[in-house]
Amino acid sequence: MSTFKDLGLNNDLLQAITDLGFEKPSEVQAKAIPILLESETDLVALAQTGTGKTAAFGFPLLEKIDVASRTTQGLILSPTRELCLQIANEMKLYGKYCKGLNVVAVYGGSSIQEQAREIKRGAQVIVATPGRMKDMIKRRLVDISKIQYSVLDEADEMLNMGFKEDITEILSHTPEDKNTWLFSATMPKEVARIAKKFMANPQEITVGNKNESTSNVTHEYYMVNARDRYQALKRLCDANPDIFSVIFCRTKRDTQKVAENLIEDGYSAGAIHGDLSQNQRDMVMKSFRNQQIQMLVATDVAARGIDVDDVTHVINYQLPDEPEVYTHRSGRTGRAGKTGISMVIVSRSEVRKIRGIERIINQKFIKKEIPDGANICQVQLMSLANKIHNTEVNDEIDAHLTSINTLFEDTDKDELIKKFFSVEFTRFYNYYNKSKNLNVSESSRDRDGGRDRDSGRDFKGGKNDSTRYFINVGAKDGFDWMKLKDFLKEQMDLGRDDVFKVETKDSFSFFNTENELKEKVLQHFTDFKHEGRFVNVEVSENRGGGGRRNDRRSGGKRRDDNRGGRRGDDRRNASGGRSDRRRGGDGDSRPRRSENSEFGSSRPRRSRR
C-alpha cells in the first residue's frame, strides 16, 4: 500500500494529512493503520520515536471514536509532560476536520482543576502522564470507565521511569474489553510482561529489528583522554558549523556545567535537566525548537520528551550507564526520514562499552578522529565562503558603496577576498594554530600503569570541587586502578565518573570524588571490612591529585614520575580555567568573533531551514 487513501482513512483525516504535507505513510503507519482500522485488536508495535508512530495510532483512533458523543473513548498514556503535549497537539492537527473532536492533555505541573474542567466539557480523547492521571482518578475528576481504546506510548520509557504501578492502577479503572495498543522502542522483559498482563492475543508489528536503532543514523565514536572531553566536544561542534544537536551528559551537574562552559565560550547552547523549573525548561525547549539554540545539553530523563525533527547530531558527551539508554539518545536524530549522526566521546577505559552497544543496536560504530586545527579552519572557511556565496544582496548597501569603493580603490580582488575572509579565519587560525592532537589509541592503555589517567575532571572548575582520599589497599591486595575504581563504584553505588584519578601503589592507593560525596565516602568506609580486613579511607592532603603528593604514609617520598606535561592542566583548573585564554590551541575559551566582525561578536543565530 503506498498512499494514506489506500490505507482506508476517511476524507477528514486525508484532508488533514494533505495539510500537514505527509506524502506517504511511514513504515509503522503502513503496518499499523490497516490492522487497527480493520479489526478490534490489541497491538504491540516496536518502533522508535521519530518513525511516525503518533499518527500510526492517532489516525485509527480518530477514525474509530464517535465525535458526536462527549464520552471519553480513548486514553493515551505517555511518559513525560513534553511528549504528552506533543501527542495532544499532533492529535488536534490530525483531527482538525473532525467536527466536535476534543482532545485534552493531562499532565503534572499545570492546574488540575483547569484540566478537569476541559475534560468535563467532553473529551473523547485524553492524553495523559501516568502520575497526573492516577491523581485525577483518585479525586474523581475523570471517568475512564467507558474507554474503548488505550494506548501505551513509549512503554519502555514509562517503565524505566517507574510508572508500572501507576499504569496498572489506571488500567484497573478501564473496561476489560477495551483494545490496548502498546508502542515501545525496545522490548525489555518488563514491557513483554505488561503486554502479557494487559493484552489478549495482541498482533505484533516491528519496524526495523527489535531493540535496533533507526538505520538512518550513523554511529561514530571518538577516543580521547577524559580530561580532553570538553575540548573534543568543542572541536566536533566547530567542525560542523551547521550542527543542531542534543548533547547528553550523565548527571544534572555535568549537564549544567557543560552548557555553561559552552555559552561562556561563545556557543549557542542551553541546558535542560531536572533541577530547572518547568518554566525554565519550557523556555529552553522553545528556543531549541525555534533553532535559536544550536546545542541542547541534556540529561537522559529531561530529554525524554524532546521531539524535534531536525536534530543533525546527537553527541554522547558521556555514555549512559545502561547501554539500552543509548538507543533512546540516538533516536533523537535521524527522525522523520532524515539522516543523522550519533557521536560518542569515549575514554580508553570506556571503549568496551561501545562493543556492548553495537550488539544492542545491531549496528557497527565507525571510529573517527577528532579533527585537527587545520581541518577545522578549513571547514569554517568554506562554510563562510558558501554562506557569502548564497547570501542575497541587500540593495540598501548601494548608498554606501561609493565610500567602500574609495576605501578599497587600491586593493585588487584577491587581496580583498583575503582580507575579507581573514576577519573570520584569523580568529579560528589563532585559536587552533598549535593545537594538540586529542586522539588516543586503544592500544596505549597500558602506558598508564597504576594510574587512572583518563578520569580527570574534564572541564573547568572540576578539580577545585574534588576531594582526594587515601585508601589502605593497593596492588598487593589485587587491585589495579580499574579494579579499584570498579570496587569503589560498586561499594558506594556510584556512577562511572564519580570516582576519578585513581592511583594504585603497592599497599595503598588514592582516588578522588566530588566534594559533595565526601561525607558519603567517609561514612561508607567507617568500620568497613573487605575480605576480613579493615579498609580505611581518609582524606589525603594531596587534594587535587595529579600534583606532588605530600604522602607521609610512603615515608615522605615524592613521586618521581614525570608530571611536566600535566602542570599546565593543573594550573588551568586551579584558576578556574581562565589562565589559558590567550594561549593558542584548545585553551578553555572558544575563538571569539572579533568585535569588528561584520557577523557580530557573538555566535550568529541559526537561520538554517
Question: Does 213 participate in binding ligand AMP (rule CB under 6 A)?
Answer: no
Taking CB under 6 A as the binding criterion, the range among 24-32, 259-267, 376-384, 467-475 that sits at the site for ligand AMP is 24-32
Spatial neighbors of 418 by CB under 8 A, at least 6 apart, are none
**Residue from 44, 50, 225, 540 in contact with ligand AMP (CB under 6 A):** 50
Are residues 590 and 294 in contact, defined by beta-carbon separation less than 8 angstroms?
no
CA dihedral 324, 326, 329, 331 (to 10 degrees): -80
Q: How far is the C-alpha of 451 from the C-alpha of 568, rounded, in Å? A: 19
Of 200 and 336, the one with the shorter C-beta distance to ligand AMP is 336
**Residue from 31, 53, 132, 505 in contact with ligand AMP (CB under 6 A):** 53
Q: Where do runs of H (alpha helix) occur along 173-298?
A: 189-198, 229-238, 252-264, 278-289
Return phi, psi of residue 94, to 5°: -65, -35
Of 4 and 248, the one with the shorter C-beta distance to ligand AMP is 4
CB of 30 to ligand AMP, least distance (A): 9
Encoded amino acid at 425, one letter: F
CB of 2 to ligand AMP, least distance (A): 12
Structure letter (DSSP) for residue 553: G
**Residue from 25, 202, 270, 331 in contact with ligand AMP (CB under 6 A):** 25
Q: How far is the C-alpha of 167 from the C-alpha of 162, rounded, in Å? A: 10
Count of CB atoms situated within 10 Å of the CB of 497: 23
Chain positions 306 to 335 lying near ligand AMP, rule: CB under 6 A, are 307, 309, 335
# chain residues binding ligand AMP, by CB under 6 A: 15
CA dihedral 151, 156, 157, 161 (to 10 degrees): 110
Taking CB under 6 A as the binding criterion, the range among 18-26, 200-208, 282-290, 355-363 that sits at the site for ligand AMP is 18-26
Taking CB under 6 A as the binding criterion, the range among 45-53, 122-130, 504-512, 554-562 that sits at the site for ligand AMP is 45-53
CA angle 357, 361, 367 (to 5 degrees): 60
Taking CB under 6 A as the binding criterion, the range among 50-58, 107-115, 423-431, 558-566 that sits at the site for ligand AMP is 50-58
Question: Does 49 participate in binding ligand AMP (rule CB under 6 A)?
Answer: yes
Of 53 and 505, the one with the shorter C-beta distance to ligand AMP is 53
Closest CA to 87 of 126, 44, 41, 143: 126
What mask, x for binding ligand AMP by CB under 6 A, covers residues 336 to 375? Answer: x---------------------------------------
Of 26 and 261, the one with the shorter C-beta distance to ligand AMP is 26
Of 22 and 425, the one with the shorter C-beta distance to ligand AMP is 22
Question: Does 55 participate in binding ligand AMP (rule CB under 6 A)?
Answer: yes
Structure letter (DSSP) for residue 341: E
Considering all CA atoms of the chain, what is the largest pairwise distance in Å, rounded to the nearest integer? 88
CB of 4 to ligand AMP, least distance (A): 8
Of 57 and 248, the one with the shorter C-beta distance to ligand AMP is 57
**Residue from 33, 43, 51, 424 in contact with ligand AMP (CB under 6 A):** 51
CB of 62 to ligand AMP, least distance (A): 14
Of 6 and 369, the one with the shorter C-beta distance to ligand AMP is 6
Structure letter (DSSP) for residue 609: -
**Residue from 54, 225, 318, 327 in contact with ligand AMP (CB under 6 A):** 54
Burial class (CB in 10 A: 0-12, 13-18, 19+), 451: buried
Of 55 and 236, the one with the shorter C-beta distance to ligand AMP is 55
Question: Does 185 participate in binding ligand AMP (rule CB under 6 A)?
Answer: no
CB of 157 to ligand AMP, least distance (A): 13
Closest CA to 606 of 308, 341, 369: 308
CB of 365 to ligand AMP, least distance (A): 24
Of 18 and 386, the one with the shorter C-beta distance to ligand AMP is 18
Q: Could you tell me the CA-to-CA distances from 336 to 54, 187, 242, 316, 333 in Å, in that order?
A: 12, 22, 19, 21, 9
Question: Does 22 participate in binding ligand AMP (rule CB under 6 A)?
Answer: yes
Q: How far is the C-alpha of 128 from the C-alpha of 167, rounded, in Å? A: 11
Burial class (CB in 10 A: 0-12, 13-18, 19+), 439: middle
Reduced to 3 states, what is the DSSP secondary structure of residue 445?
helix
Question: Does 192 participate in binding ligand AMP (rule CB under 6 A)?
Answer: no
Question: Does 19 participate in binding ligand AMP (rule CB under 6 A)?
Answer: no
Structure letter (DSSP) for residue 151: E
Reduced to 3 states, what is the DSSP secondary structure of residue 343?
strand
Burial class (CB in 10 A: 0-12, 13-18, 19+), 389: exposed
Question: Does 52 participate in binding ligand AMP (rule CB under 6 A)?
Answer: yes
Q: How far is the C-alpha of 321 from the C-alpha of 250, rounded, in Å? A: 8
Burial class (CB in 10 A: 0-12, 13-18, 19+), 566: middle
CB of 29 to ligand AMP, least distance (A): 6
Chain positions 565 to 584 lying near ligand AMP, rule: CB under 6 A, are none
Question: Does 187 participate in binding ligand AMP (rule CB under 6 A)?
Answer: no
Of 84 and 223, the one with the shorter C-beta distance to ligand AMP is 84
Of 9 and 142, the one with the shorter C-beta distance to ligand AMP is 9
Strands 340-346 and 366-368: unpaired
Question: Does 31 participate in binding ligand AMP (rule CB under 6 A)?
Answer: no
Of 2 and 515, the one with the shorter C-beta distance to ligand AMP is 2
Of 87 and 537, the one with the shorter C-beta distance to ligand AMP is 87
Question: Does 474 participate in binding ligand AMP (rule CB under 6 A)?
Answer: no
Of 48 and 150, the one with the shorter C-beta distance to ligand AMP is 48
Strands 295-298 and 269-272: parallel
State the residue for C-alpha cell 547552547. Answer: 269
Are residues 237 and 453 in contact, defined by beta-carbon separation less than 8 angstroms?
no
Question: Does 26 participate in binding ligand AMP (rule CB under 6 A)?
Answer: yes
Chain length of the chain:
609
Helix (H) or strand (E) holding 441: none
Of 151 and 262, the one with the shorter C-beta distance to ligand AMP is 151
Binding site for ligand AMP (CB under 6 A): 22, 25-26, 29, 49-55, 307, 309, 335-336
